[in-house]
């Protein structure tokens, strides 16, 4: 049973792609009666890896909390995944990052956790997607088979 729907990122300046990811994660959370979790990088991480902080962590935390997410400050998302696994907490990872070296996607595949990859130009038909014990990689927006 899926307990959490997890998204990860810097979210240093929200844009349309982030909104698609956030809305999809919230829809899956509602579908599975799961808690949405956002793993958000720290200001220090942004300074080191992105060059500057556009919105400080406390503002990003506030925005995601207002949207209904449980927020975890995380500069190593794999450590959080491992902690959830050790606590036997099943989660669905929703991602829009199509880099072939995405460590979070690789971890989910290796450990048998389900994944949804969001691509705004396609649709997902939910009833054929999620099997709680298998990994599923798809692309699209969340849609039920009736189109709703």
Query: Residue 78's domain is classified under what CATH number?
Result: 3.40.50.620
Torsion, Cα 39 63 29 92, to 10 degrees, reads: -20
Q: Please indicate, yes or no, if residue 38 is contained in any of the structural domains.
A: yes
Q: Please indicate, yes or no, if residue 86 is contained in any of the structural domains.
A: yes
Q: How many percent of the chain have pLDDT more than 70?
A: 76
Q: Please indicate, yes or no, if residue 47 is contained in any of the structural domains.
A: yes
Number of domains in the chain: 1
pLDDT of residue 99: 63
Q: Are the CB atoms for 95 and 102 separated by under 8 Å?
A: yes
Residue 36: pLDDT band (50, 70, 90) is very high
Distances (CA, A) of 129 to 62, 80, 137, 140: 32, 24, 9, 11
pLDDT tens-digit readout, 51-64: 999 999 999 999 99
Q: Please indicate, yes or no, if residue 148 is contained in any of the structural domains.
A: no
Q: Please indicate, yes or no, if residue 92 is contained in any of the structural domains.
A: yes
Q: Please indicate, yes or no, if residue 131 is contained in any of the structural domains.
A: yes
pTM over cut 0.85:
no
CA 132: distance to chain centroid?
A: 16
Q: Please indicate, yes or no, if residue 94 is contained in any of the structural domains.
A: yes
**Residue 96 structural domain:** 4-143
Strand locations in 87-135, DSSP E?
91-95, 115-117, 123-125
Environment class of 147 (CB within 10 Å of its CB; exposed 0-12, middle 13-18, buried 19+): exposed
What is the token pair recorded at 38?
């956002």
Q: Please indicate, yes or no, if residue 35 is contained in any of the structural domains.
A: yes
What is the token pair recorded at 142?
């969340």
């Amino acid at each position: 049973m899926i307990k959490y729907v997890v998204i990860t990122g810097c979210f240093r300046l929200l844009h349309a792609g982030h909104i698609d990811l956030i809305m999809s994660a919230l829809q899956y959370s509602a579908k599975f009666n799961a808690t949405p979790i956002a793993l958000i990088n720290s200001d220090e991480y942004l300074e080191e890896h992105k060059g500057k902080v556009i919105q400080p962590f406390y503002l990003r935390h506030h925005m995601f909390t207002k949207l209904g997410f449980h927020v975890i400050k995380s500069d190593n998302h794999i450590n959080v995944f491992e902690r959830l696994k050790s606590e036997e907490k099943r989660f669905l990872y929703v991602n829009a990052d199509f880099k072939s070296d995405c460590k979070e996607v690789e971890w989910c595949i290796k450990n048998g956790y389900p994944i949804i990859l969001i691509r705004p130009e396609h649709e997902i038909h939910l009833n054929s997607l999620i099997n709680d014990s298998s990994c599923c990689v798809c692309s699209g927006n969340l849609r039920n088979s009736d189109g709703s």
